[in-house]
Structure 1
Amino acid sequence: MADGSSLDIAPGDDGALRWRRIDGTTGKLTHGQNDVWTSTAGWTPRPDGKDVSFTDCAKGGITFGGMAGQRIHFDVQEVEFKGEGGTRLVGRLILPEGKAKVPIVVLIHGSEHDSARIDDHMQRQLPAEGVGAFVYDKRGTGGSDGTYTQDYSVLANDAVAAVKEARALAGARAGRVGFRGGSQGGWVAPLAATRTRVDFVMVGYGLAISPLEEDREAVAFQLRLKGYDQATIDKAWEISDAIGLILSSQLTQGYEQLDAARNKYRNEPWYKDVRGDFSYLVLPYSADEVREKGKAFMFHTPWHYDSMAVLRKLTTPQLWMLGEDDIDAPSGETLRRLKSLQAQGLPITTALFPHAEHGMTEFQLQADGSRLSTRYSEGYMRMTIDYALGQWHAPYGASQVSYPRPAPGPAKTAQTP
């Protein structure tokens, strides 16, 4: 843009576009009259006064809220490579133009079924700020072959293949190379880092607990938001644990426990508020319905996955960026566990972003208690970029940062923690 900042324009929902800036501001663009696109703030319907117009694609010009801009050109290489078992995966390396050596972030997806090559905006935001990105469709999604899975070991081996491919494509331009995993990628990225050499690992709104523990933590967090006490949460955990047994046993056990808990508590005032990460998907259905409908969700998820066993042996520098108000993957227990690893001298930096939830978005509460996202947390993308670059220029928005032990002194503030 004319002021030297970068702006990303990406496909949105229902023919709309979405703009994003490094400071965390974002909006939805809807096509209007005279080829002018009108913006609404965040994911709200509230106009933000930013009208946008484009030149033809060949010229690559834009006017955004009255400011002119010009498309940034990248060095882009499309590639096919082989993941675990020889599965064909498709990826893309995007580097800033030129011949200089740059850091490269291999982007590891979450649990989504969509194409990361289409949807992951970091593949452009990083190169626009001097950091290369390698993005790929995980197996069973987008243009990649194979069957969709949530087997972290298989996905970690695919990530190892991806980092190898990224280094080979970049050649002499490859500087620091590392992983960035979002959500479920927070389990996959550290595991992959134990299987190949990387210079750093970044995790966005991921967890250091198991998927079963995630549901329990989500049940508790959500009930506390509604004012329920621990005694109530203990009762709700009977439901969550029964559902967890059903899923972790591949739909063979836990039905009697679930029926008993439902019969015991279905008339309690808090029963309607039990959600969790996956409990709400199972709770309304009978045992026969769960057995039938559940088959579509058996993705080889390691329900009892021991994150801490992986993290204890990982000596690669890590940055964990967590949302304080994450309702899907509550960060409290994860942050406690990461701080215990910091105290043992492991190179882990944590950043807790206040009033941020899953996806590192801030939100406003609706009258019915639901959340409507307004923007990304300030400092989140800048922190991601700087960590990849090997720099550190705190503060990053309102994030609360905890450093490895010993904490860096004043002379190290420009270095990666």
Structure 2
Amino acid sequence: MCPKNRFRRRGLGVVVWSLVTVLVVAAGLVGVVLWQNSYDMNEQRVTIRHGGHTLNGVLATPRDGRDRHGLIVYVHGDGPVDATHDDGYKPLWEANAEAGYASLSWDKPGVAGAPGDWLDQSMDDRADEAAAAIAWARTRPDIDGDRIGLWGASQAGWVLPKIAARTPVSFVVAVSPAVNWLRQGRYNLLAELRAEGASAARIKAEVAKSDTTRQLLDRHATFEEYVKAVRGDTDGMTADRWGFISRNYTADATRDLRALRGVPVLLALAGHDVNVDTADTERTYRSVLDAGGELRVRHYPEATHSLLKQSVERSDLKITLTALFAPRSLFADGFLDDQRRFLDGLDRAGTVASPRPGR
């Protein structure tokens, strides 16, 4: 045989085996992704009627063989959030399922094809929506109507106590909840500027712009007046967003929190939260709820506002790879376990067993 042909066949064999190796590795990676993103629970799409509106939801239930389960109703934070929060809720739902609880969430109006527009809502509208979802859940034979609680993050801090004032709830998990809209906005502005290393002059200018915006809101200015006042520097503000802020900027949960007195509340706070002043939140929750003895506060020093690990969230590559290959590891150490333990401690009467000491 010609040496050239032998080399050609040998080269072809190397290419074939290299391709096979690549395909095997790729198949293995795909398998890992599918395995890591499969959760031990059943999910079904549900439709909830709320007045003349329709909520497109997802109900996730445990695979424990029981006929009835307690339920956690999810209340989203700000923004166009779908029912699963782009699958970000699923590790939380799995932890709930391990504790014997189902989870219910829905697309915000106008998101993922849902009718309506979430920017048209007030915090009271959102509370009415959640109360309707709870009423719907109580009609289901697979849900224990005496064990229905709430889970909410960030902007949900203004909605959770309003829901509890409308319908009985057995417990609440509050994640980085806001208390006062204006105080939160100023805290967020300054925290982000400092994180960026902004100069004193820029901070002064941004604060002045923020003060102008507050004055415009107080006199119910139109979006066009806002655009004129900031000389076209809207920083992404739209007419619809301006309307949403105008309806809600006076929100303050302090008085509403009284509806949660006597209700077991797990308050989860992050150590690297540039959105919400966690010290202010904890101080307010303790002043209103501590007397009832049902408030449990947990601190996660290495977490961001979303209770994700800071080391992961600050890198687009890390957050993408972690979401693909280890989505449960996105969250701060101990958060999923603490949520599960909190639920494990709940009995049918809604009381909670004494948890381990806080960090």
Q: Fold match, TM over 0.5?
A: yes
Q: Does residue 113 of structure 1 match 2:80?
A: yes
Q: Does residue 214 of structure 1 match 2:159?
A: no
**Separation in 2 of the partners of 1:310 and 1:170?**
31
User: Which structure ranks higher in relative contact order (CA pairs < 8 Å, sequence separation ≥ 6)?
Assistant: 2
Match of 1:356 in 2: 303
How is 1:140-151 mapped onto 2 (pairs within 5 angstroms)?
Answer: 140-149=110-119, 150-151=121-122
Structure ranking higher in strand proportion: 1
Q: Does residue 95 of structure 1 match 2:61?
A: yes
Structure 2 gaps of 5+ residues are: 1-20, 320-329
Q: Is the 8 A contact 2:156 2:177 kept in 1?
A: yes
Superposition deviation, residue 153 in structure 1: 0.4
Structure ranking higher in helix proportion: 2
Superposition deviation, residue 116 in structure 1: 1.6
Q: Does residue 314 of structure 1 match 2:314?
A: no
Q: 1:73 to 1:162 in 2, by over 3 A?
A: same
Q: 1:116 to 1:95 in 2, by over 3 A?
A: same
Superposition deviation, residue 238 in structure 1: 3.4
**Separation in 2 of the partners of 1:292 and 1:78?**
34
Superposition deviation, residue 111 in structure 1: 1.7
Match of 2:168 in 1: 197
Q: Secondary structure at the match of 2:118?
A: coil
Match of 1:21 in 2: none
Match of 1:4 in 2: none
Q: Deviations over 1:53-83 (max 9, x none)?
A: 439xxxx984x6xxxx9x6664444321222
Q: Deviations over 1:144-177 (max 9, x none)?
A: 3222234110011100111122232244655621
Match of 1:412 in 2: 354
Of 146, 157, 172, 1:186 maps to: 157
TM-score, normalised relative to structure 1: 0.63
Q: 1:159 to 1:61 in 2, by over 3 A?
A: closer
Q: Does residue 389 of structure 1 match 2:337?
A: no
May I ask how many residue pairs the two structures share in their alignment?
314
**Separation in 2 of the partners of 1:155 and 1:354?**
30
Deviates more, 1:232-241 or 1:104-113: 232-241
Q: Is the 8 A contact 2:70 2:143 kept in 1?
A: no
Q: Deviations over 1:263-306 (max 9, x none)?
A: xxxxxxxxxxxxxxxxxxxxxx515x649953131226410112
Superposition deviation, residue 321 in structure 1: 0.8
Superposition deviation, residue 310 in structure 1: 0.2
Q: Secondary structure at the match of 1:169?
A: coil
AA matched with 1:308: T
Q: 1:72 to 1:341 in 2, by over 3 A?
A: closer
**Separation in 2 of the partners of 1:253 and 1:148?**
18
Q: Is the 8 A contact 1:90 1:136 kept in 2?
A: yes
Q: Does residue 376 of structure 1 match 2:331?
A: yes
Match of 1:238 in 2: 208
AA matched with 2:169: V
Match of 1:395 in 2: none
Match of 1:166 in 2: 137
Q: Does residue 78 of structure 1 match 2:53?
A: no
AA matched with 1:185: A
Determine which structure has more spread, i.e. the larger CA radius of gyration.
2
Q: Secondary structure at the match of 1:340?
A: helix
Q: Does residue 286 of structure 1 match 2:231?
A: yes
Superposition deviation, residue 343 in structure 1: 4.6
Superposition deviation, residue 244 in structure 1: 2.8
Q: Does residue 52 of structure 1 match 2:29?
A: yes
Identity of aligned residues (%): 23
Structure 1 gaps of 5+ residues are: 1-31, 39-50, 260-284, 393-407
Q: Does residue 34 of structure 1 match 2:23?
A: yes
Superposition deviation, residue 130 in structure 1: 3.2
AA matched with 1:115: D
**Separation in 2 of the partners of 1:178 and 1:190?**
12
